[in-house]
Amino acid sequence: MKKVGVAILGLGVVGGGTYKILTDNKEYFKSTQGLDVTVESVLEKNVDRATALGISKEKVAGSIEEVVSNPNVDIVVEVIGGIEPAKTFVLKALMSGKTVVTSNKELFAKHWPELEREAKNMKVGLFYEASCVGGVPIIRTLTEGMQANKILSIKGIINGTTNYILTKMAKEGQSYEEALKEAQKLGYAEFNPTADVEGFDATYKLSILSSLAFNTKVSIENVHREGITGITKEDIACGKELGYTLKLLAIGKNTKNGIEVRVHPTFVADTNPLASVNDSFNAVHLVGDAVGEIMLYGRGAGALPTGSAIVSDVIFAAKHTDYYYSYFDNSEKGNKNTKFVSDFTSKYFIRLSVKDSAGVLSKIAGVFAKNNVSLSEVKQAAEKDGKVTVAIITHECLESAVNKSLEKIKAQGAVISVDGLIRLED
- What residues line the site for ligand HSE (CB under 6 A)? 105, 159-161, 196, 201, 300-301
Which among 276, 179, 175, 178 has a CA at the least distance from the CA of 234? 175
- Residue 79's SS3 state is coil
213 alpha-carbon distance from chain centroid:
14
Q: How far is the C-alpha of 68 from the C-alpha of 65, rounded, in Å? A: 5
The DSSP call for residue 161 is H
Alpha-carbon distance of 18 to 296, in angstroms, equals 22
Asked if 258 and 220 count as a contact pair (C-beta separation under 8 A), the reply is no
CB neighbourhood size of 404 (10 A): 17
Closest separation in Å from C-beta 197 to ligand HSE: 9
Nearer to ligand HSE, 14 or 390 (CB): 14
- The whole-angstrom separation of Cα 75 and Cα 308 is 16
Return the number of the residue (125 or 300) whose C-beta is nearest ligand HSE. Answer: 300
By C-beta, is 5 or 160 nearer to ligand HSE? 160
Q: What are the strands, taking DSSP E only, across 256-340?
A: 258-269, 281-288, 292-299
CB 399 within 8 A of CB 407: no
Catalytic residue among 92, 205, 253, 347: 205
Closer to ligand HSE by CB, 5 or 302: give it: 302
In whole angstroms, the minimum distance from the beta carbon of 162 to ligand HSE comes to: 7
> Annotated catalytic, 205?
yes
With vertex at residue 174, the alpha carbon angle to CA 166 and CA 155, rounded to the nearest 5 degrees, is: 5
Cβ closer to ligand HSE: 116 or 198? Answer: 198
Residue type, 123: K
For the chain, what is the radius of gyration of the CA atoms?
Answer: 24
As measured in angstroms, the least distance from the Cβ of 156 to ligand HSE is: 11
Kindly state the smallest distance separating residue 277's Cβ from ligand HSE, in Å. Answer: 12
Residues with a catalytic annotation lie at: 205
